[in-house]
């Protein structure tokens, strides 16, 4: 049996667009319903880096670093607010294969760089996974305002205070993972995204609205074993 995982999520951007809930519903498995805020479903792209990824109980020094880009939305099942991942692109080939085989997560191999330069995160991701649709995302982002606790902000709560993630495995089954971590600290953020083909790679039209950006320095996470819904 695959062990739970410990890791850190660092230097995250949450780039968020409103989407018609009926449109979002067509992109989701039948057992999941779009969660809405201000009458809209929301589509988010999240670049960041995982640090010290390791089985639970293994010393942090033995963990691996895994830069990542995911595209996600917000769903409910049996009234539980959750996240649904359309895809997760990551740098480490062996980690991607392990996540796909043992945790049933829709990871794709990508070449990713993430660097902190002059107070801004420089990020680039280009999907290289055999047989997958190309997806390229590049830009820079940085915090621009005062930090706040996500549970104190209604939209921040909607976006990040969720402790269950859903994915669809290659055999069509729906899987879920529960996570445990402290409440998020968020900052208002600015981003200059020069390339984004990730949205279209997943069948979404280019959003008309301007995205809402938040930045987080990150937190530490424990993720449960993947379970079948």
Q: What is the pLDDT of residues 52-88, one digit of tens each?
A: 999 999 999 999 999 999 999 999 999 999 999 999 9
Q: What six digits make up the tokens of 220?
A: 């530490």
Neighbours of 209 (CB within 10 A): 10
More confident residue, 160 or 173: 160
Separation of alpha carbons 39 and 21, rounded Å: 8
Question: Whole-prediction pTM value?
Answer: 0.94
Residue 151 per-residue DSSP state: G
Q: What six digits make up the tokens of 177?
A: 């993972």
pLDDT tens digits, 20-61: 999 999 999 999 999 999 999 999 999 999 999 999 999 999
Contact 20, 39 (CB under 8 A): no
pLDDT of residue 146: 97
CA-atom Rg of the chain in angstroms: 16
- CATH of residue 150: 2.40.400.10
Q: What six digits make up the tokens of 224?
A: 């449960």
Q: What is the domain range of residue 147? A: 5-228
Listed range (14-18, 99-103, 162-166) with the worst mean pLDDT: 99-103
Contact 111, 126 (CB under 8 A): yes
Q: Is the pLDDT of residue 94 over 80?
A: no
The pLDDT-based confidence of 93 (bands split at 50, 70, 90) is low
To which residue do tokens 């820079």 refer? Answer: 140
Separation of alpha carbons 200 and 206, rounded Å: 7
Residue 224 per-residue DSSP state: P
Number of domains in the chain: 1
Separation of alpha carbons 159 and 214, rounded Å: 10
Which of these, 87, 56, 53, 83, lies nearest to 70 by C-alpha position? 87
Separation of alpha carbons 215 and 220, rounded Å: 16
Separation of alpha carbons 188 and 16, rounded Å: 12
Neighbours of 154 (CB within 10 A): 11
């Amino acid at each position: 049996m695959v062990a739970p995982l410990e890791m850190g999520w660092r230097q995250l951007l949450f780039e968020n667009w409103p989407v018609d809930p009926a449109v979002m519903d067509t992109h989701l498995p039948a057992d999941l319903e779009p969660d809405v805020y201000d009458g809209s479903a929301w589509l988010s792209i999240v670049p960041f880096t995982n640090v010290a990824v390791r089985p639970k109980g293994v010393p942090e020094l033995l963990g691996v670093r895994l830069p990542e880009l995911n595209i996600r939305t917000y769903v409910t099942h049996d009234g539980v607010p959750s996240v649904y991942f359309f895809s997760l692109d990551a740098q480490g080939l062996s980690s991607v294969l392990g996540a796909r085989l043992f945790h049933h997560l829709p990871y794709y191999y990508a070449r990713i760089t993430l660097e902190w330069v002059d107070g801004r995160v420089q990020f680039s991701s280009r999907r290289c996974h055999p047989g997958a649709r190309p997806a390229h995302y590049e830009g820079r982002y940085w915090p621009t305002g005062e930090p706040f606790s996500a549970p104190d902000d209604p939209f921040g709560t909607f976006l990040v205070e969720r402790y269950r993630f859903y994915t669809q495995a290659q055999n069509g089954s729906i899987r879920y993972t529960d996570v445990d971590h402290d409440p998020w600290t968020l900052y208002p953020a600015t981003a200059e995204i020069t390339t984004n083909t990730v949205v279209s790679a997943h069948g979404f039209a280019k959003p008309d609205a301007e995205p809402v950006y938040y930045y987080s320095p990150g937190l530490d996470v424990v993720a449960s074993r993947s379970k079948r819904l």
